[in-house]
């Protein structure tokens, strides 16, 4: 059974994915910088990002980098903003700069992976998200996106493993529950009851009604 969508993953931009969580916080400045100036820039950038004012957020994060050119989270946040503005090449360059400064910068790998997913660059997304999982194995969002990328490639068991890990790490992760339900339905035969469990858990957590999923469960309701 093949369903045509994944919750907040297929067909949605990095912008939508990232706004769900607060932006990353810039690292503390070296002692020779004025802490308040950096703090003010970070606060302004985060507030602008939250209200989707990406032009203002970009200027704020650029100020962070003027104060501390190697601030990793400043680079990651600026990369996310550039992606949200549609400047994919600039976003990729900025995120890769963060990685060049510190290979283990998991948020940069995650942001790259999500951007590559949005661009349907499957191989690049898989590579980036695998690195993100390596450096931050307990990040539920990374496990969710990695599971979807793996599932897109036809490895249903692998997708389920990553998505189960996502909901174990964060039981309130609505999108991961939904995505797990989708991949349970793609088993042969479909794992209806497992899919039902995670779909309705997602509904309990605030997921809007999905007519396709509802129809699947209605037509496969257990007999009394």
pLDDT digits (tens, 9 = 90+) for 207-216: 999 898 889 8
pLDDT value at position 31?
52
- pLDDT < 70 regions, the chain: 1-34, 221-224
Q: Compute the half-sphere exposure of residue 113: CA atoms within 13 Å on the CB side of its CA.
A: 25
- Spell out the alpha helix ranges (H) of the chain: 14-19, 35-50, 54-67, 72-84, 88-101, 106-118, 122-135, 140-152, 156-169, 174-185, 192-204, 211-219
Q: Going from the N-terminus, what domains does the chain have, and what CATH number goes with each?
A: 14-219 (1.25.40.10)
User: Does a cis peptide bond (omega within 30 degrees of 0) precede residue 189?
Assistant: yes
pLDDT digits (tens, 9 = 90+) for 118-171: 999 999 999 999 999 999 999 999 999 999 999 999 999 999 999 999 999 999
Crossing angle of helices 35-50 and 72-84, rounded to 10°: 30
pLDDT value at position 11?
27
d(CA 197, CA 64): 45
pLDDT value at position 16?
24
pLDDT value at position 222?
58
d(CA 189, CA 121): 29
| pLDDT, the chain, mean | 86
pLDDT value at position 69?
93
d(CA 105, CA 122): 21
């Amino acid at each position: 059974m093949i369903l045509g969508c994944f919750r907040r993953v297929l067909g949605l931009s990095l912008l939508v994915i990232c706004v769900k969580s607060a932006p990353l916080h810039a690292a503390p400045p070296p002692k020779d910088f004025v802490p308040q100036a950096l703090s003010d820039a970070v606060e302004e950038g985060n507030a602008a990002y939250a209200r989707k004012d990406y032009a203002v957020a970009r200027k704020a994060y650029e100020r962070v980098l003027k104060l501390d050119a190697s601030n990793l989270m400043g680079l990651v946040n600026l990369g996310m903003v550039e992606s949200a503005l549609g400047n994919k090449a600039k976003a990729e360059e900025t995120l890769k700069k963060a990685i060049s400064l510190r290979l283990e910068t998991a948020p940069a790998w995650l942001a790259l992976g999500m951007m590559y997913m949005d661009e349907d660059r499957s191989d690049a997304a898989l590579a980036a998200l695998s690195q993100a999982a390596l450096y931050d194995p307990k990040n539920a969002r990374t496990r969710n996106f990695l599971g979807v990328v793996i599932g897109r490639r036809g490895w249903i068991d692998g997708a389920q493993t990553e998505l189960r890990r996502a909901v174990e790490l964060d039981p309130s992760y609505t999108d991961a529950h939904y995505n797990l339900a989708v991949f349970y339905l793609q088993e042969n035969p479909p794992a209806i009851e497992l899919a039902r469990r995670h779909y309705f858990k997602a509904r309990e957590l605030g997921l809007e009604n999905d007519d396709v999923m509802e129809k699947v469960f209605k037509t496969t309701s257990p007999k009394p």
